[in-house]
Chains A and B, each alone.
Chain A
Amino acid sequence: MNTPGNPVSPGTPALPNGSGAAALLAAGIGSFALGVLAFSADQSALLKRIFDFYAPTGPLSGVTTVAILIWLLTWAILEWHWRNRTVAVGRIAAAAIALLGLSLVLTFPTVVDLF
């Protein structure tokens, strides 16, 4: 495996892709968590009350706080496992972009109002 200090030929990665893949997938998961939580809080009066962490902001405070915690926790775990590894980044990137796309759908008001 190449390390940052070693000379590498052009076109050869100097660093393994694991750290980047971890950040990428965590961003996808964090975004998806935000979409799911926002959608759920909109559908359930109980969740709306649970996510009311800061009354002036309402359920948005809990939804975003929990989503950010999920994102950062996932990122830390994935970084811990993948930072020195080379992973199948093509599939991970596809999954991350799909999760981001789904999260955009889940926060679109017309979709939320269908349920």
Chain B
Amino acid sequence: MEITARALWTLVHGMGFGALYLLACSGALVELYRFTTASSPSESTPGQQRFLKVYLLTMVLLAWAAVLTGAYVIYPWYRALPPQGKTDLAMLPQRLLMSSPTTIGWHSFGMEWKEHIAWFAPISITMVAFVFHRYGRDLKNHRQLRTAVLCFAAASFVTAGIAGFFGAMINKHAPVQGGHTIRLSTGGEK
């Protein structure tokens, strides 16, 4: 069982940071809503508030790690140009997608959208985390601010979901490959 270095990085970016962020989003939305609408302080303890702060901070780190590895590690491999005279496009995902009318949309629509929309997720969740750190349970007394913060948290979820969907589909049609091969196991025939 083997994996290439580039495929491993793609896995870390998509499944490690991106998918984990998406999983965390649903929990954050529910907790933020519950926490900031609780009618009595006894419904949420200081320990739970600390936990949510750490949870949101972890989400901020995951979101930034996802977009930064995407833009500065994976994307250069994706958009690499073929060397002069080279016709094998297997190692050039963008060129591979653009070479066929049945796949060009994954680049011209999917990647064009994904490469920008993904950045709304870390910007939004950073703001959400900051506001929660600053206000904590007091956020329930700022109804309009709370509503807007929840809107941005939802937007962060949706934009990360769109980016994740196109990332997965693009990698399915034109996987990022290359780099040295890492042997995960040497399984024998049973």
* A binding-site residues for B, Cβ under 8 Å: 10-15, 17, 19-21, 23-24, 26-27, 30-31, 34-35, 38, 54, 56-58, 60-61, 63-64, 67-68, 71, 89-90, 93, 96-97, 100, 103-104, 107-110, 112
Contact = CB atoms under 8 A, between A and B. Distances in A.
A64 B155 contact: no
> Size band of the B side of the interface?
35 or more
B141 A11 contact: yes
Contacts of A34: 116, 119-120, 123
B152 A20 contact: no
Interface string B129-165: 0110011001101101101110110010001000000
Contact of B138 (A15, A31, A97): A15
Interface string B148-189: 110110010001000000000000000000000000000000
B123 A89 contact: no
Contacts of A12: 141
B127 A23 contact: yes
Dominant secondary structure of chain B at its interface with chain A: helix
20 contacts: A10-B40, A11-B141, A15-B134, A15-B135, A15-B138, A20-B134, A20-B135, A20-B139, A23-B127, A24-B148, A27-B126, A60-B116, A64-B71, A90-B144, A97-B148, A97-B152, A100-B124, A104-B117, A104-B155, A112-B112
A10 B134 CA distance: 18
B166 to A, nearest CB: 11
Contacts of A109: 108-109, 112-113
Contacts of A71: 123
A68 B71 CA distance: 14
Given A56-B76, A107-B113, A100 B120 contact: yes
Contact of B141 (A14, A58, A64, A108): A14
